[in-house]
């Protein structure tokens, strides 16, 4: 956290801005009577959950609202004496990029996939009709790529976006946004799609460039950790309204508005609590599990492919009532391990012993009685429920397959919905009628319908807003205790892992590099990689305050 700057001139002033939504939307205004200022040389974070209108307000500044359905209804956006809400498109174009730059969440879709990086950067200069020669532009591009910390700018410039990693793409995006040295940078969730270590680097880069160029940065995020890492000032939005604004110091540690307090209290604390060791019976024991993708063989129609080791020599046990966290960055193979245990993927070598019996070699028929004991909760609450089937049919599918009579399984489904906190009317509805959090609850009810002994939660809360995430985590914890389940909790989020897991296995490139008690792993990490992961968690120095109300 850097110290807040005072008595500065506002470079962007937003007065009573309202943005109207089409008549069929759930509320009349996406952004409702919002006023704030941005000063030169500060990072202003706008925080809120999905649907809070945080992106809409910045899109309005850039003139990027999806017209004609969504438009500025009233208010003004003052920048250099102009009202950006009213000026015409050609004027706006000269401001975009040149005076105000923007970076987006998904660097893959924000870059043109069939154009080389240097060409895309060139376009920025060309579209603003700057009188620069080709060689000047070339050297500028190299300089810019160098500025955002890309090694070998020459090579990067000659690459296509798909040849770069997510972090490199985001760096290119930043270089593009800053090419014309704008006064304001708007960053819309720029690190949400990135791994934690990459996120840390990008945050550092943005803060560095901001200081070097004395820019005003509007940083939109849902993550209070990121806020703690980077913000000078913070605006908290809820349902299109600003509920609280102030210095980062104040908002993070002594928030006043009940909504801010609620949001902050749902942020999982990084410091793990020491938990008692569990020595109940082992439910599942993974031994020397190997899984590779791709085979080195040529067939008549297929191409030869290279071999990727998704998991190498994985070993762990999960006991009754224990939650084992499997953490790692994307591509570390953590999901693969979960899917190998439940046999969605077939593994190459090793054993998965479920209650003492190796299940990897079983045929489908032999596997049937064991299937009901191992269940899974999936990441995407939208893709994991069949959109064409009613909730009741979805929840009772498992029991029906295993021969439970319909009446009995529907009665059980009603009870399960009650356990996960939904009404029984939900049974007769279709998935699209539910919110993300509600769908995840349905997914949990579906898994529980089989009365499992082992529950595999594959990034089960990653797609949810922080307050909904907290509720679902609470529910999972409650269920685990009530039913005495063993749980494999796959996640990339160390804060969440610290909160829910008894033991942690850290994975890197298909291997477990550290395995131990959560408290020990978090407070006394042994492996270099674990240390770097923990070091990269945004806002790690911020101790999440607890409120007594």
Partner 1 sequence: MSVDTAVTEPKQSAMMAALASFWFEFRQNKGALYGLIFVSILAIVAIFADFIAPYSPIEQYREVLKLPPVWAEGGSWAHIFGTDALGRDQLSRMIHGSRYSFYIGFIVIFFCLTIGIVLGLIAAFNKGFIENVIMRLMDIILAFPSLLMALALVAILGPSLENAMIAIAVVFIPHFVRLTRAQALSELGKDYVSSSKTMGASTMRLMFINVLPNCMAPLIVQATMSFSSAILDAAALGFLGMGAQPPSPEWGTMLADSRQYILSDPWLMGIPGLAILFTVLSINLIGDGLRDALDPKMKTSKA
Residues in touch with partner 1 (CB under 8 A): 22, 24, 69, 262, 301, 339, 342, 344, 364, 367-368, 371-372, 374-376, 378-380, 383-390, 394, 397-398, 401-402, 421-423, 425-426, 428-430, 432-435, 437-438, 441, 443, 446, 450, 467-468, 471
**Beta carbon of residue 130, minimum distance to partner 1 (angstroms, whole number):** 38
Beta bridge partners of 514: 506
CA count, 13 A, side-chain hemisphere, 315: 6
Whether the CA torsion 353, 358, 363, 369 is positive or negative: it is negative
**Beta carbon of residue 339, minimum distance to partner 1 (angstroms, whole number):** 8
Among residues 165 and 386, whose Cβ is nearest to partner 1?
386
Among residues 113 and 387, whose Cβ is nearest to partner 1?
387
| C-alpha–C-alpha distance, residues 234 and 247, integer Å | 6
**Beta carbon of residue 89, minimum distance to partner 1 (angstroms, whole number):** 24
Among residues 212 and 297, whose Cβ is nearest to partner 1?
297
CB-based contact 376:449 (threshold 8 Å): no
**Beta carbon of residue 262, minimum distance to partner 1 (angstroms, whole number):** 6
Among residues 327 and 342, whose Cβ is nearest to partner 1?
342
Backbone angles phi, psi at 197, to 5 degrees: -70, -35
**Beta carbon of residue 341, minimum distance to partner 1 (angstroms, whole number):** 10
| C-alpha–C-alpha distance, residues 482 and 470, integer Å | 18
Among residues 287 and 345, whose Cβ is nearest to partner 1?
345
**Beta carbon of residue 435, minimum distance to partner 1 (angstroms, whole number):** 6
DSSP state of 389: S
| C-alpha–C-alpha distance, residues 410 and 394, integer Å | 11
| C-alpha–C-alpha distance, residues 393 and 428, integer Å | 9
Count of other CB atoms within 10 angstroms of residue 505: 24
CB-based contact 205:143 (threshold 8 Å): no
The DSSP secondary structure of 142-195, one letter per residue, reads HHHHHHTT-SSHHHHHTS-GGGS-HHHHHHHHHHHHHTT--SEEEEESTTTTS-
3-state helix, strand, coil in the chain (%, to 5): 40, 25, 40
Among residues 224 and 378, whose Cβ is nearest to partner 1?
378
Among residues 436 and 516, whose Cβ is nearest to partner 1?
436
The DSSP secondary structure of 119-146, one letter per residue, reads HHHHHHHHHTT----HHHHHHHHHHHHH
**Beta carbon of residue 194, minimum distance to partner 1 (angstroms, whole number):** 23
**Beta carbon of residue 107, minimum distance to partner 1 (angstroms, whole number):** 23
**Beta carbon of residue 377, minimum distance to partner 1 (angstroms, whole number):** 9
DSSP state of 349: E
The pair of structure tokens assigned to 220 is: 């939109």
**Beta carbon of residue 436, minimum distance to partner 1 (angstroms, whole number):** 9
**Beta carbon of residue 231, minimum distance to partner 1 (angstroms, whole number):** 25
Among residues 27 and 69, whose Cβ is nearest to partner 1?
69
Among residues 4 and 435, whose Cβ is nearest to partner 1?
435
| Helix (H/G/I), strand (E/B), else coil: 359 | coil
Among residues 113 and 302, whose Cβ is nearest to partner 1?
302
Among residues 179 and 447, whose Cβ is nearest to partner 1?
447
| Helix (H/G/I), strand (E/B), else coil: 437 | helix
Among residues 20 and 530, whose Cβ is nearest to partner 1?
20
| C-alpha–C-alpha distance, residues 408 and 400, integer Å | 10
**Beta carbon of residue 222, minimum distance to partner 1 (angstroms, whole number):** 16
Angle at 274 between CA 268 and CA 276, to 5 degrees: 125
| C-alpha–C-alpha distance, residues 313 and 319, integer Å | 20
CB-based contact 209:215 (threshold 8 Å): yes
* Pairing status of strand 486-491 against strand 454-458: parallel
| C-alpha–C-alpha distance, residues 238 and 411, integer Å | 38
């Amino acid at each position: 956290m850097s110290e807040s700057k005072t008595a500065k001139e506002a470079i962007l002033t937003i007065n009573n801005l309202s943005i109207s939504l089409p008549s069929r939307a759930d509320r009349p205004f996406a952004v409702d009577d919002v006023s704030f200022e941005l000063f030169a040389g500060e990072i202003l974070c706008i925080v809120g959950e999905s649907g809070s209108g945080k992106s809409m307000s910045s899109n309005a500044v850039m003139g990027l609202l999806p017209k004609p359905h969504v438009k500025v209804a009233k208010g003004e956006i003052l920048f250099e004496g102009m009202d950006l809400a009213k000026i015409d498109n050609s004027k706006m174009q000269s401001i975009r990029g040149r005076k105000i730059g923007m970076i987006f969440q998904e660097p893959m879709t924000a870059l043109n996939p069939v154009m080389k990086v240097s060409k895309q950067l060139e376009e920025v200069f060309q579209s603003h009709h700057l009188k620069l020669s080709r060689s000047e532009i070339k050297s500028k591009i190299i300089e810019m790529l160098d500025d955002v910390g890309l090694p070998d700018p020459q090579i990067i410039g000659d690459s296509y976006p798909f040849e770069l990693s997510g972090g490199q793409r985001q760096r290119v995006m930043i270089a593009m946004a800053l090419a014309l040295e704008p006064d304001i940078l708007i960053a819309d969730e720029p690190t949400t799609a990135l791994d934690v270590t990459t996120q840390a680097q990008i945050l550092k880069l943005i803060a560095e460039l901001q200081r070097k160029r004395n820019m005003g940065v509007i940083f939109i995020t849902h993550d209070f950790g990121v806020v703690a890492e980077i913000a000078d000032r913070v605006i908290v939005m809820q349902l299109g309204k600003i509920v609280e604004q102030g210095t980062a110091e104040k908002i993070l540690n002594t928030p006043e508005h009940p909504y801010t307090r609620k949001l902050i209290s749902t942020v999982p604390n990084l410091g793990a609590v020491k938990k008692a060791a569990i020595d109940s019976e082992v439910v599942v024991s993974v031994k020397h599990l190997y899984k590779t993708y791709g085979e080195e063989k040529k067939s008549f129609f297929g191409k030869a492919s290279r071999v990727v080791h998704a998991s190498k020599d994985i070993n762990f046990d999960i006991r009754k009532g224990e939650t084992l966290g499997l953490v790692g960055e994307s591509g570390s193979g953590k999901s693969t391990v979960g899917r190998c245990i439940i046999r969605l993927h077939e593994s190459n070598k090793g054993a998965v012993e479920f209650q003492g019996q190796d299940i990897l070699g079983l045929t489908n028929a032999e596997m049937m009685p064991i299937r009901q004991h191992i269940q899974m909760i999936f990441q995407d609450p939208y893709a994991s429920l069949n959109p064409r089937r009613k909730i009741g049919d979805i929840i009772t599918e498992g029991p029906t397959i295993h021969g439970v009579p319909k009446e009995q399984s529907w009665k059980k489904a009603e009870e399960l919905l009650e356990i996960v906190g939904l009404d029984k009317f939900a049974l007769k509805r279709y998935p699209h009628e539910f919110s993300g959090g509600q769908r995840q609850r349905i997914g949990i009810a579906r898994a529980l319908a089989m009365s499992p002994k082992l529950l595999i939660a594959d990034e089960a809360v990653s797609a949810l807003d922080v307050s909904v995430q907290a509720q679902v985590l609470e529910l999972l914890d409650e269920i685990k205790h009530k039913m005495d389940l063993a749980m494999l909790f796959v996640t990339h989020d160390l804060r969440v892992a610290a909160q829910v897991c008894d033991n942690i296995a850290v994975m890197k490139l298909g291997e477990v590099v550290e395995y131990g008690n959560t408290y020990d792993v978090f407070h006394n990490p042994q492996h270099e990689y674990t240390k770097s992961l923990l070091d990269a968690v945004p806002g790690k120095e911020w101790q999440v305050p607890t409120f007594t109300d």
